[in-house]
Amino acid sequence: MKDELLEQIEKLHGISRKNILTVSQVSEYIHDALSNDPKLNQIYVLGEVTNVSEKQGYVYFDIKDEESLLRCILFPRNNNKLSFKIENGLEILIFGSISTYMKRGLYQLVVSAIFPVGEGALYLQFKQLKEKLSKEGLFDEKHKKETPAIPKTIGLITSKTSAACKDVLEVLKNRFSNVTIKLVDTLTQGAKASLEIIQAIEVLNRVKSVDVIILARGGGSFEDLMCFSDEQLARTIFESKIPIITGIGHETDYTIADFVADKRAPTPSVAAKFAVTDKRDLIDDVSSVRNELKKSYDNFIASKLKDKKLKRYKVVVIVLIIIILIVAFTMLVGF
């Protein structure tokens, strides 16, 4: 601030220059006060999203309740970590700190993490991820790998203590007891489940003898099955060199893993049926083919024998005709 102006103010108004602050000084003081207040740093704030806009990876929005509005900013590095897209009307819980934008004299909540809450929050996350991966082509039929009819080795990813594991093993044993099963025990519910399943798929992909993978879990709530709707898990399934069959939940349950898998079964037991042909059916097919071959061979032999007999008959007839002609000619010459 210019000294001349301060002197003038002091003379005209009797206000000491020590008591006069610039706009920047006030803004800096407010900034420091807010930034150093533990009640405003690393806090959780609950509110409804409104006025969303996005520019170059930055997301600007407000959260509100019945009485107030709070400006928020989400930087690209944290925006990229979100598993859902921020939409107007969404109820969210924000973790962040209050800061100021001194150029405009604004205070705002700098967002570190966002958690959707309330009814439908998980479904919104599921829906947005499904739309994103669908646009990228991860669900396209052209990417689906064929599953072998008679695999020698099957990889099974599930909880080894679950009913789903028992069902799959029983079906595989009944249908084709000769098949080798490599079981990888994982969590199938909770925050750590997705990572364990991802690691299991990667492990089985390094085992060259595995022909097909079954990913199985029994029924549960939408929330229980959310670990199968993880984005990184979906990309791992897509990138797997080994075909993957999912058997997750019940017939009406769908997860992101089901959409990206090479084949989706409505239950774990059906997934096992999809994985391998029933040996009894193969035996029946082989017996049927054998019987058809035997029948064709018998018909062929009978036909050949018939042709052979016919040829012999023709030779006898010709010989008889010749003899008759000779006899007739002899008789004619004798006359």
Annotate 1-16 with DSSP letters as a single string.
--HHHHHHHHHHH---
Residues 272 and 286 in one domain: no
The Cα–Cα gap between 21 and 18 comes to 8
Task: List the helix and strand counts (H, then E) for the chain.
Answer: 10, 10
Q: Is residue 202 part of a domain?
A: yes
Distance of CA 113 to the CA centre of its chain: 24
Residue matched to tokens 């209050």: 98
The Cα–Cα gap between 198 and 191 comes to 13
Give the per-residue pLDDT at 332: 43
Contact 154, 275 (CB under 8 A): yes
Phi, psi of 52 (to 5 degrees): -75, 135
The Cα–Cα gap between 217 and 119 comes to 25
- Number of CB atoms found within 10 A of residue 226's CB: 21
Distance of CA 221 to the CA centre of its chain: 18
Residues 287 and 273 in one domain: no
| This model's pTM is above 0.75 | no
Give the per-residue pLDDT at 196: 98
Residues 166 and 271 in one domain: yes
- Number of CB atoms found within 10 A of residue 47's CB: 20
Residues 163 and 107 in one domain: no
The token pair at 212 is 């097909």
The token pair at 120 is 């439908």
Residues 258 and 205 in one domain: yes
DSSP 271-282: HHHHHS--HHHH
Distance of CA 1 to the CA centre of its chain: 63
In order of 23, 73, 89, 230, the CA distances from 125 in angstroms are: 44, 20, 14, 10
Give the per-residue pLDDT at 104: 85
The token pair at 335 is 């006359």
Helix (H, G, I), strand (E, B) or coil at 318: helix
Rounded CA Rg of the chain? 40
H or E segment to which residue 287 belongs: helix 279-334
Residues 158 and 271 in one domain: yes
The Cα–Cα gap between 24 and 28 comes to 6
Residues 94 and 168 in one domain: no
The Cα–Cα gap between 323 and 83 comes to 102
Q: What's the total number of domains in the chain?
A: 3
Distance of CA 53 to the CA centre of its chain: 30
Largest separation between any pair of C-alpha atoms in the chain: 177
Q: Is residue 136 part of a domain?
A: no
Q: Which class for 63: exposed (0-12), middle (13-18), buried (19 or more C-beta within 10 A)?
A: buried
Residues 256 and 195 in one domain: yes
H or E segment to which residue 329 belongs: helix 279-334
Residues 272 and 153 in one domain: yes
Residues 273 and 152 in one domain: yes
Contact 126, 226 (CB under 8 A): yes
What's the one-letter identity of residue 303? S
Structural domain boundaries enclosing 29: 3-118
Q: Is residue 102 part of a domain?
A: yes
Last residue of a domain, one of 118, 138, 165: 118
Residues 186 and 174 in one domain: yes
Q: Which class for 99: exposed (0-12), middle (13-18), buried (19 or more C-beta within 10 A)?
A: middle
The Cα–Cα gap between 99 and 110 comes to 7
Q: Is residue 128 part of a domain?
A: no
Give the per-residue pLDDT at 335: 35
Q: What is the mean pLDDT of each run of 10 residues along the chain (335 residues)?
A: 71 74 85 88 93 92 92 91 83 92 88 82 86 96 95 97 97 94 97 97 95 96 92 97 96 95 97 93 73 63 60 57 55 42
